[in-house]
Amino acid sequence: MNDKVINAALLGLGTVGTGVYKVWKSQEPEMADKIGSRLNIKKILVRNLEKAARKVDDPSVLTDSWEEILNDPEIDIVIELIGGIDPARAYILEALKAGKHVVSANKDLIAVHGRELLDAAAAHKVDFLYEAAVAGGIPIIRPLKQCLAANHMSEVMGIVNGTTNFILTRMTREGMEFADALALAARLGYAEADPTADIEGLDAGRKVAILASAAFNSRVVLDDVHIEGITKISAGDIRYAREMGCDIKLLGVARNTPEGIEAYVCPMLIPSSHPLASVNDSYNAVFVRGDAVQDAMFFGRGAGEMPTASAVMGDVFDIMRNIRADCCARIGCTCYKNLPVKKMEDICNRYFLRMQVEDRCGVLAEMTAVFAKYNVSVAQIVQKEKMARERAEVVVITDSVREGDFLTAVEELRRRESIHEISSLLRVYGEN
Amino acid sequence: MNDKVINAALLGLGTVGTGVYKVWKSQEPEMADKIGSRLNIKKILVRNLEKAARKVDDPSVLTDSWEEILNDPEIDIVIELIGGIDPARAYILEALKAGKHVVSANKDLIAVHGRELLDAAAAHKVDFLYEAAVAGGIPIIRPLKQCLAANHMSEVMGIVNGTTNFILTRMTREGMEFADALALAARLGYAEADPTADIEGLDAGRKVAILASAAFNSRVVLDDVHIEGITKISAGDIRYAREMGCDIKLLGVARNTPEGIEAYVCPMLIPSSHPLASVNDSYNAVFVRGDAVQDAMFFGRGAGEMPTASAVMGDVFDIMRNIRADCCARIGCTCYKNLPVKKMEDICNRYFLRMQVEDRCGVLAEMTAVFAKYNVSVAQIVQKEKMARERAEVVVITDSVREGDFLTAVEELRRRESIHEISSLLRVYGEN
């Protein structure tokens, strides 16, 4: 039966690594029936052998030497869960060159060096799979590359960061301000000690790059993605949005247009009737649109020990099936196009603009004249009772307009004495 | 370049067949880049050659002879879209035995003869794929068999029939009665000329059988699924449900419990806060729960020409990749367990019961005494102002109770003179 055992090594035994170890243990009794082979996690790379010993049944599998894993010819699959660019990139490239298959959940790396890793896998006829890098346990990479392969995808977008979705959900439901909701998220374990990558949109931006590459068959990297976070969103913005029939979500959006790919992450107003508007707390959801499938959505846990481990082990099982069927590298890089990526200023969206203006006759006329000058058409306008002496709050939602034109109009508004402050400027998700 | 063309035959050129033909045409320019091979639809089996001629570019591909396709050694893939048991079953078995791969969207057949077809595919080392048989364009079979393979799935359930979901949505939103909503569905093309299989729950039952088999690694067939339709649902039931914070949906439910598999289709109350409650119109959604992934949901178009064709062509592309990598039959039947299926009477659920009772002191006490006798615990009770002289309407939601016990209690209620009528009896979806 020995030829029916496939050996793997785990790099990292943090949250996801521990989850993978647990899923492996729980699947072991039926793995031979399910896949036709058994998996043996032969080595686990850790930094602190002593600390890790408490997490595994047999501490002799632990090692702090990457070379021990790389040079073990019995190890066929490397599961990289250490994250970050270095040394993960070097380890993965060395493993691929040594003829080992690699499963990775490393979005930081794949969003920047995805092509290099997939090319190396192809060159050495091995698999490099990364379902867990986007939206945790939610199947999305394999559906895009296989189930939906017969589509021209025009859009892939969604809520792909659980921390910010938790924060915005609390701000919406309880009227909390950003700082309080962030503190709560940290207290409940939904935000990391340094939440910068989440709240500034960087984590979501990496996932948009990976999703867009898989959906549009053209490589999109992190630098191609325009990124804004949620730190400037206030409870007041959310209240106004709801008055206008919308919620505010941190959306990652990628569109394939005749002029090129649009890829951005930013807080956006989205109609409350849209399926994504009801994706709350730390849940993630990815919405896709294709010429055949039309609209589809994938919803679930976007992070966490066990959901992410589910995706990692799904990839491991796939590689085990490939090894058994002798068809490794069956599906590699699917980016056979080379589409341009549009600049943010050339992208059209609708905008939500909240301003403090002088409360006198003629100010609205002045504002709308500026809009007209730059071809900005106003779809909705709300003026509230004045908040302070001689000061009124005006909220505008525009029709779709090229961002460059809109920002020029906003610059001109800022220079007007009657406009005291532009307190928020947000995009509105919708058909353009 | 000739060795890079893979030939397929299409059986049937109805709605889905026409969609597949369109998707094939639209994917043709980039198929070689995407898959590494080109697809040629060499033959199309139709009943009426003349009528079909208008639907294709080159009518010489049309044939009314199955043998012509079966005996063509150049045809590697057969795409079965004629539906029904006969002759589809014979054609598929003959094709598999002849070494041809088969893609099918035929839920009627797979829900009954799935094991036979998958066994035949395995015996002849060819692929038999059927992603389109459940939930149209929504990827669900491949996610269950691959992406989520490292889970013990405890539940797969959802809204898997678009016609009934359209009807219930209209009844909910506009207060229509069933017959009017059905007539509207027929007028708008959401219901077939003979809607029986949809409104009686049979179509959903077939999908539950296929989903449960894939999710629990144990074969569930149509006969194992308890099936009830929506014909008895009234606008009044929906109004009461909403008063109690619920919507009514036709749900297909499959659960894997220590005592066996539960599989049923019936109209159920579901809390309005559940993601499935907001799946409206003809949309479908499948909700899964696994020990690693936790909760995930797949949402999209469950039927229609192009969405179904998206799933069919995704399978065709997968087979083309398998042919190129020489690894056909890489994933076959995944039902390696042989779990028992529970009888409906042994399944526990909460119940919604609507009764017309005599309007006098002591009737509620009499009713609750009957419940207590059979261990039925009442969770919510509403008595409305009397509707007619000496007649009141009482609505009860119970706690979870074994169905056999509950029905015995209901039988006893029916025999009481003070209970004039049991006007509705519905199950309530939830944790048990």
* DSSP secondary structure, A270-337, as one string: EETTSGGGG--TTEEEEEEEETTTEEEEEEEE-SSHHHHHHHHHHHHHHHHHHHHHT-TTSS-----B
Other C-beta atoms closer than 10 Å to the C-beta of B160 total: 30
Interchain CB distance below 8 Å, A146 and B30: no
Chain A environment of B143 (Cβ under 8 Å)? 139, 142-143, 147
CB-based contact, B382 to chain A, within 8 Å: no
Chain B residues inside the 8 Å CB shell of A302: none
**CATH of residue A401:** 3.30.70.260
Three-state DSSP class for residue A269: strand
Between A and B, how many CB-CB pairs are < 8 A?
184
Q: Identify the residue among A310, A328, A333 best suited for mutation to test binding to B, counting B beta carbons within 10 A and taking the highest.
A: A310
Q: Which of residues 78-117 of A touch B (CB under 8 A)?
A: none
Work out the minimum CA distance from A368 to partner chain B, whole angstroms. Answer: 39
Q: b/e string for B198-210 if b means 16 or more Cβ within 10 A? A: bbbbbbbbbbbbb
What letter does residue B70 receive in the DSSP assignment? Answer: H
Contact A149, B34 (CB under 8 A): yes
Q: Tell me the nearest-neighbour CA distance from B304 into chain A, angstroms.
A: 9
Angle of helix A178-187 relative to helix A162-174, nearest 10 degrees, comes to 120
Active site (annotated) includes residue B207: yes
Q: Does the residue A334 lie in any domain?
A: no
Task: Name the closest residue on chain B to residue A30, using Cα atoms.
Answer: B336
- pLDDT value of residue B275: 85
Is the same domain home to B294 and B365?
no
The radius of gyration computed from the CA coordinates of chain B, to the nearest angstrom, equals: 24
Exposure of A3 by Cβ count < 10 A (0-12 exposed, 13-18 middle, 19+ buried)?
A: exposed
* C-alpha dist (Å) from residue A295 to A3, A298, B25, B170, B277: 44, 10, 21, 21, 18
Looking at the structure, tell me whether residues A250 and A271 fall in a common domain. Answer: yes
Residue B409 phi, psi dihedral angles, 5° rounding: -60, -40
Q: Are residues B119 and B185 in the same domain?
A: no
What's the confidence (pLDDT) of residue B2? 41
pLDDT in tens, A61-78: 999 999 999 999 999 999
> What's the pLDDT band for A387 if we cut at 50, 70, 90?
low
- Best interface-test mutation with B: which of A30, A146, A308, A334 has the largest number of B CBs within 10 A? A146
pLDDT per position as a tens digit, B102-139 = 999 999 999 999 999 999 999 999 999 999 999 999 99
Number of structural domains found in chain A: 3
Look at residues A362, A364, A349 and name the one whose alpha carbon lies nearest to residue A394: A364
Query: Is residue B142 in a domain?
Result: no
Best residue of B140, B146, B328 to probe chain A, by most A CBs closer than 10 Å: B146
Interface test with A, best of B16, B213, B310, B331 (most A CBs within 10 A): B310
Residues B156 and B129 in one domain: no
Interface test with A, best of B21, B31, B138, B293 (most A CBs within 10 A): B293
Q: Is A289 on the interface with B (CB under 8 A)?
A: no
pLDDT tens figures, B296-312: 999 999 999 999 999 99
Return d(Cα A418, Cα A392) in angstroms, integer: 10
B152 has a chain A CB within 8 A of its CB: yes
Q: How confident is the model at residue B261 (pLDDT cuts 50, 70, 90)?
A: very high
Q: Three-state SS for B255?
A: strand
Whether A96 is covered by a domain: the verdict is yes
pLDDT in tens, A241-298: 999 999 999 999 999 999 999 999 999 999 998 889 989 999 999 999 999 999 999 9
Question: CB contact, 8 Å: A149 with chain B?
Answer: yes
Domain assignment of residue B234, yes or no: yes
DSSP label at A391? E
The closest of B45, A288, B65, B16 to B24, measured between CA atoms, is B16
At residue A1, the pLDDT reads 37
Kind of pairing, strands A260-271 and B283-290? unpaired
Give the pLDDT of residue A391: 84
| B322 vs A359: which has the higher pLDDT | B322
CATH number at residue A92: 3.40.50.720
Q: Is B334 within the bounds of a domain?
A: no
Closest CA to A160 of A265, A230, A77: A265
The total of other beta-carbon atoms located within 10 Å of residue B73's CB is 9
Lowest average pLDDT, out of A188-192, B43-47, B83-87, B286-290, goes to A188-192
User: Residues of A with CB below 8 A from B292's CB?
Assistant: 19, 23, 26, 137, 306-307, 309-310, 313
Q: How is chain B split among helix, strand and coil, in percent rounded to 5?
A: 40, 30, 30
Shortest distance between the Cα of A309 and any Cα of chain B, in A, equals 7
Report yes or no: B296 at the A interface, CB cutoff 8 Å: yes
pLDDT value of position A2: 41
Write the residue in A35, A301, A322 that is nearest to B294 by C-beta: A301
A22: closest chain B residue by CA = B292
How far is the C-alpha of B180 from the C-alpha of A281, rounded, in Å? 39
Q: DSSP string spanning A50-102? A: HHHHTTSS-GGGEES-HHHHHT-TTEEEEEE-S-SSTTHHHHHHHHHHTT-EE
Please tell me whether residues B350 and B422 are part of one structural domain.
Answer: yes
Q: Does B272 touch chain A (CB under 8 A)?
A: no
Least confident of A332-341, A382-391, B134-143: A382-391
Q: Is the pTM of this model over 0.90?
A: yes
**Is A417 within 8 Å of A358 (Cβ atoms)?**
yes
A294 touches chain B (CB under 8 A): yes
| Residue B348 distance to chain A (closest CA, Å) | 27
Question: For chain A, how many helices (H) and strands (E)?
Answer: 14, 17
Same domain flag for B29 and B101: yes
Distance from CA of A139 to the nearest CA of B (A): 6
pLDDT band for B432, please (50, 70, 90 cuts). Answer: low
Q: Give the C-alpha distances (Å, rounded to integers) separating A339 from A144, A255, A328, A335.
A: 18, 12, 28, 10
Asked if the C-beta of A306 comes within 8 angstroms of chain B's C-beta atoms, the answer is: yes
Q: What's the rounded Cα separation, in Å, for the pair A114 and A318?
A: 20
Are B312 and B141 in contact by the 8 Å Cβ rule? The answer is no
* CA–CA min distance B404, chain A (Å): 34
Tokens of A60: 């002799």
Last residue of a domain, one of A290, A325, A360: A325
Active-site entry in A43, A107, A145, A207: A207
Model confidence at A11: pLDDT above 90: yes
Copy the structure tokens of residue B275: 């993601």
Q: pLDDT for B306-342, tens place per residue? A: 999 999 999 999 999 999 999 999 999 999 999 999 9
B300 and A300 within 8 Å at the Cβ level: the answer is no
Residue A341: inside a domain, yes or no?
A: no
Confidence of residue A388 (pLDDT cuts 50, 70, 90): low
Chain B CB within 8 Å of residue A302 CB? no
User: Is residue A50 scored above 50 in pLDDT?
Assistant: yes
Q: Please tell me the distance from the alpha carbon of residue A8 to that of residue A353, in angstroms, as a whole number.
A: 53
Which chain A residues are Cβ-neighbours of B296 within 8 angstroms?
137-139, 298-301
**Same domain? B225 vs B317:** no
Interstrand relation of B246-257 and B283-290 (parallel, antiparallel or unpaired): unpaired
Query: Among all chains, which residue has been given the structure tokens 């999305």?
Result: A140
Between CA B115 and CA B120 the distance in angstroms is: 8
Q: Residue B304 and residue B16: Cα distance in Å, rounded?
A: 7
Angle between helices A107-123 and A88-97 (to 10 degrees): 20
How many residues comprise chain A?
432
CB contact (8 A) between residue B294 and residue A311: no
Q: What is the mean pLDDT of residues B358-369?
A: 89
A357-377 mean pLDDT: 91
Domain range enclosing B360 = 346-428
Task: Tell me how far apart the alpha carbons of residues A259 and A300 are, in angstroms, rounded to a whole number.
Answer: 33
Which of B100, B207, B249, B342 is labelled catalytic? Answer: B207
Tell if the CB–CB gap between A296 and B295 is shorter than 8 Å: no
Whole-angstrom distance, CA of residue B158 vs CA of residue A139: 17
Asked whether the beta carbons of A198 and A192 are under 8 A apart, the reply is yes
Identify the CATH number of the domain in which residue A280 sits.
3.30.360.10
* Residue B216: inside a domain: yes
Span B233-244, average pLDDT: 94
Are residues A132 and A89 part of one domain? yes
Mean pLDDT of A408-417: 95
Locus of tokens 């069927």: A325
Whether B241 maps to a domain, the answer reads yes
A278 contacts on B by Cβ (under 8 Å): 275, 278
Same domain for A381 and A394: yes
B270 and B320 share a domain?
A: no
Taking each continuous run of H as one helix and of E as one strand, the counts in chain B are 14, 17
Nearest to B293 among A149, A293, A300 (CB): A300
Q: Which of A129, A335, A343, A134 is nearest to A219 (CA)?
A: A335
Q: Which residues contact A361 (CB under 8 A, 6 or more apart)?
A: none
pLDDT at B1: 37
Q: Tell me, what's the pLDDT at A369?
A: 94
Reported ipTM: the value is: 0.95
B82 CB neighbour count, 10 Å cutoff: 24
CB neighbourhood size of B86 (10 A): 9
Same domain? For B296 and B363 the reply is: no
| Cβ–Cβ below 8 Å for B298 and A299 | yes
Distance CA B90, CA B62 (A): 20
Task: Say if residues A83 and A65 touch (Cβ distance below 8 Å).
Answer: no
Chain A positions touching B294 (Cβ under 8 A) are 137, 300-301, 304, 306-307
CA distance A358 to chain B (A): 43
Partnered with residue B251 across adjacent β-strands are B266
Distance CA A276, CA A327 (A): 38
What is the SS3 string spanning A27-39? HHHHHHHHHCCEE
CA atoms of B350 and B371, how far apart (whole Å): 13
Q: Do A19 and B292 touch (CB under 8 A)?
A: yes
Stretch 38-67 of chain A: residues touching chain B, C-beta under 8 Å: none
Nearest CA in chain B to A294: B307
Query: Of all residues in chain A, what percent are helix, strand and coil, respectively (each to 5)?
Result: 40, 30, 30
Q: Determine contact: B194 vs chain A, CB below 8 A.
A: no
Confidence of residue A383 (pLDDT cuts 50, 70, 90): confident
- Chain B touched by A267 (CB under 8 Å): no
Strand-strand pairing, B348-358 and B401-402: antiparallel
Q: Is B197 within 8 Å of chain A by CB? A: no
In B264-329, where does DSSP find H-type helix? 305-325
From A263, A293, A325, the end of a domain falls on: A325
Residue A385 has pLDDT above 70, yes or no: no
Both A210 and A194 in a single domain? Answer: yes
Is B297 close to A298, i.e. CB distance below 8 A? Answer: yes
Which residue of A278, A310, A331 is in closest CB contact with B290?
Answer: A310
